[in-house]
Amino acid sequence: MPRLAYVNGAFVPEADATVSIFDRGFLFADGVYEVIALVDGRFVDDGPHLDRLDRSLREIQLVLPMPRVDLHAMLLELATRNAVTEGLVYMQVTRGPAERDFAFPVAPTPTIVAYARATPVLAHPRALAGATAITVPDQRWARRDIKSIALLPQVLAKQAARAADAFEALMVEDDHVTEGGAATLFMVSGGALVTHALGTDVLPGITRERVFSLAATRDIPIIERSISTEEVRAADELFITAATAFVMPIVRVDGVAIGNGAPGEITMQLRADYIASVRHGAAAM
């Protein structure tokens, strides 16, 4: 049975899932997206993810082309039709097709597309041994808080990571790490979690917020501030968080071992706590 995608109101085989060449997402990257994980057939933090989608749309002056309750139902049906019980759903909303003009069309007809993928998120192949990362210059635009589909800098960063046989690229600006190419960075130092404060220079991670809650239950202090590249290499532990990576230990950066070169105790405890909270249904929102 062919995999199905959703395109503007219809479920269609992925091979037939097409949009206009004049779609502003294609021409200008004029759109936003979200990724939501599934575990045991249930979404993980779907409420906060859809909240962030709403926020991203507001920031680019675009309205969701369907009621939120219908969007949620569509995503669940998409996962069901594709028999995805563990994996992810991806959705993208653009300003839709129009004549190629930089300014907004007067009456846009937004495009909404989505697809589902089965992929291991609980037993991620990198989680037990730990992942590696490299540092790259942060060349992204100034509104990184918007989950924009304009991802060319991240594409180049991720390609550099792949060429170096690394899992993630850590973005560096003014000798400080902002975040990963597709993840939030956490440092463990002196028993506390340190991560970049929210603002227009980083994406407000949904998994980041759940980790905050889990850390609070274990009385682990949280410090929100910038992290220098020197601190990264000297950290007791490092990990990244993302929708489908959950809590992912980073054991080496630019070839330098972090701590003892193995996943740290606090990192793996938080990963275990995260998975337990998801499997016990705390993710439904």
159 assigned to some structural domain: yes
Distances (CA, A) of 262 to 135, 186, 236, 251: 19, 16, 11, 6
Whether 106 and 246 map to the same domain: the answer is no
Whether 80 and 113 map to the same domain: the answer is yes
Whether 23 and 55 map to the same domain: the answer is yes
Joined tokens for residue 75: 């995503």
Residue 240 belongs to what domain range?
A: 131-279
Q: Give yes or no: 147 in active site.
A: yes
Please give the tally of structural domains in the chain.
2
126 assigned to some structural domain: no
Whether 185 and 263 map to the same domain: the answer is yes
17 assigned to some structural domain: yes
Whether 154 and 250 map to the same domain: the answer is yes
- The catalytic position among 147, 158, 208, 271 is 147
Whether 142 and 213 map to the same domain: the answer is yes
258 assigned to some structural domain: yes
199 assigned to some structural domain: yes
Which residue, 118, 140, 166, sits at the end of a domain? 118
Whether 242 and 162 map to the same domain: the answer is yes
Whether 151 and 46 map to the same domain: the answer is no
Whether 135 and 275 map to the same domain: the answer is yes
Whether 275 and 135 map to the same domain: the answer is yes
203 assigned to some structural domain: yes
- How confident is the prediction along the chain (285 residues), in pLDDT tens digits per residue? 799 999 999 999 999 999 999 999 999 999 999 999 999 999 999 999 999 999 999 999 999 999 999 999 999 999 999 999 999 999 999 999 999 999 999 999 999 999 999 999 999 888 989 999 999 999 999 999 999 999 999 999 999 999 999 999 999 999 999 999 999 999 999 999 999 999 999 999 999 999 999 999 999 999 999 999 999 999 999 999 999 999 999 999 999 999 999 999 999 999 999 999 998 764 433
CATH of the domain at 38: 3.30.470.10
pTM for the whole structure: 0.94
